[in-house]
């Protein structure tokens, strides 16, 4: 018997959903994101969850290589219906978990090439990919893969950090540099890209000048305090436009959240967003052509009570919900 047939799953509109938590307890294995099927248990997927356990690009605390499984473990309580957006993200589309790709922890260029090729393969049948990192270095090969099919991409980047720095110890590929490389390589739409949640000390004022030249607009974490969430959603939507304006990639560094809401990360900065602010902002992404997304920098060794893992799992749920709503009807 196929092991997939032994578990009670919800099935709606031809899509295989979660293991039914009212018939098999949540704490029973196996662990996939939100107890969804593995990719090899379904014939195709509209959205594939991909784990990238890579953290060889970090500048401070290591450990984001353990992020994917931590997020999966913290995602077991997600339920099928999103009342805020009135959508069932796992019924409206087939979501499946590929598991993790194994990438070289000792050779960053080799790892980046492997990530790009894995994502290219997974997208071949038209599936979108939601990547669980891993450190922020991985955004570069993900954007390289998407640019081949879509051309220039608006990057919506949630982070405490700009990640448009140039080099560390002479290294070009690190978690502080992916968006400078992406801009230099012509991957991003410089009129429609934006950082949200920026805060904390920089190396110099020039970091901001460079960032502007590289094509990013900045929404600061402080703006949540002074302007409020709705005004930030307005700014975000004005910058990104709607689906006819072009593709959008969403990259979410969990350290955009305040360390109170995401202690389990490698380069924490005080004064960040609440998880409520982040989840609410993501609900503003309806009517956009989101071609892919990542959630990075979850480092479980510094987490407590799954705080960071739960936040990341809910961030993924919001993204899957807006992807479901944005499907052509």
Ligand X SMILES: N=C(N)NCCCC(=O)O
Touching Zn ion, residues 232-261 (CB under 5 A) = 253, 255
The one of Zn ion, ligand X, none whose footprint includes residue 176, by CB under 5 to 8 A per kind, is ligand X
Q: Does 163 bind Zn ion (CB under 5 A)?
A: yes
60 binds, among ligand X, Zn ion, none (CB under 5 to 8 A by kind): ligand X
Of residues 150, 156, 98, the one with CA closest to residue 122? 98
59 binds, among ligand X, Zn ion, none (CB under 5 to 8 A by kind): ligand X
In the DSSP assignment, the letter for residue 270 is S
Order of strands, edge to edge, in the sheet holding 193-198?
95-100, 47-52, 128-133, 289-296, 247-253, 154-158, 193-198, 216-220
- Which lies closer to ligand X via its Cβ, residue 127 or residue 267? 267
Compute the least distance from the CB of residue 49 to Zn ion, in Å.
20
94 binds, among ligand X, Zn ion, none (CB under 5 to 8 A by kind): none
Q: Pick the closer one to ligand X by CB: 97 or 211.
A: 211
**Radius of gyration, CA atoms only, the chain:** 18
Instruction: By CB under 5 A, tell whether 180 contacts Zn ion.
Output: no
Maximal CA-CA distance, the chain: 63
Task: Specify binding-site residues.
Answer: 136, 159, 161, 163, 253, 255
Degrees to nearest 5, angle at CA 296 with 294 and 301: 150
Q: How near is the Cβ of 29 to ligand X at its closest, in Å? A: 31
Does 161 bind Zn ion (CB under 5 A)? Our answer is yes
Say whether residue 128 binds Zn ion (CB under 5 A): no
- Binding segment toward Zn ion, per CB under 5 A, in 134-142, 166-174, 221-229, 237-245: 134-142
Instruction: Choose among 100, 65, 94: nearest CA to 324.
Output: 94
Distance CA 315, CA 295 (A): 8
Q: How many CB atoms lie within 10 A of CB 308?
A: 30
Annotated binding site for Mn(2+): 136, 159, 161, 163, 253, 255
- As a whole number of angstroms, the distance between CA 322 and CA 329 comes to 14
Give me the phi and psi of 141, to 5 degrees please.
-65, -30
x-or-dash string of contact with Zn ion, 136-155, rule CB under 5 A: x-------------------
Give 223 or 294: the residue with its C-beta nearer to ligand X: 294
Query: Does residue 199 belong to the site contacting Zn ion (CB under 5 A)?
Result: no
DSSP string, 93-143: S-EEEEEEPP--SS-HHHHHHHHHHHHHHHTTTT-EEEEEES-GGGHHHHH
Neighbours of 196 (CB within 10 A): 25
For Zn ion, which is the closer residue by CB, 163 or 303? Answer: 163
Quick one: 82 or 180, whose CB is closer to ligand X? 180
Residues that bind ligand X (CB under 6 A): 59-60, 136, 161, 163, 175-176, 253, 255, 266-267, 297
Footprint on this chain of Zn ion (rule: CB under 5 A) = 136, 159-161, 163, 253, 255
């Amino acid at each position: 018997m196929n092991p997939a047939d032994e578990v009670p799953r919800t099935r709606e509109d031809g899509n295989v959903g979660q293991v039914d938590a009212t018939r098999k307890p949540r704490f029973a294995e196996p662990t996939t994101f939100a107890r969804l099927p593995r990719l090899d248990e379904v014939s195709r997927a509209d959205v594939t969850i991909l784990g990238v356990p890579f953290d060889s690009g970090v500048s401070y605390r290591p450990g984001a290589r353990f992020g994917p499984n931590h997020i999966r473990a913290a995602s077991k309580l997600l339920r099928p219906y999103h009342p805020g957006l009135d959508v069932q993200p796992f019924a409206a589309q087939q979501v499946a978990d590929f598991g993790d790709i194994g990438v070289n922890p000792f050779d960053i260029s080799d790892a980046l090439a492997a990530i790009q090729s894995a994502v290219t393969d997974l997208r071949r049948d038209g599936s979108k990919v939601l990547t669980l990192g891993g450190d922020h270095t991985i955004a570069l090969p993900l954007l390289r893969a998407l640019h081949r099919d879509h051309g220039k991409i608006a990057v919506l980047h949630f982070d405490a950090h700009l990640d448009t720095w140039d080099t560390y110890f002479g290294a070009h590929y690190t978690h502080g540099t992916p968006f400078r490389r992406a801009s230099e390589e012509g991957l991003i739409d410089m009129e429609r890209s934006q950082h949200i949640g920026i805060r904390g000390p920089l190396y110099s004022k020039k970091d901001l000048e460079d960032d502007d030249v590289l094509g990013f607009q900045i929404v600061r974490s402080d703006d949540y305090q002074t302007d409020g969430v709705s005004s930030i959603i307005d700014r975000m939507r004005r910058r990104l436009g709607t689906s006819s304006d072009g593709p959008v990639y969403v990259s979410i560094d969990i350290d955009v959240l305040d360390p109170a809401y995401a202690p389990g990360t490698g380069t924490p900065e005080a004064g960040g967003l609440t998880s409520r602010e982040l989840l609410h902002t993501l609900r503003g992404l309806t009517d956009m052509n989101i071609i892919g997304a990542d959630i990075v920098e979850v480092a479980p060794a510094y987490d407590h009570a799954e705080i960071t893992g739960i936040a990341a799992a809910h961030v993924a749920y919001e993204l899957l919900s807006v992807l479901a709503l944005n499907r052509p009807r």
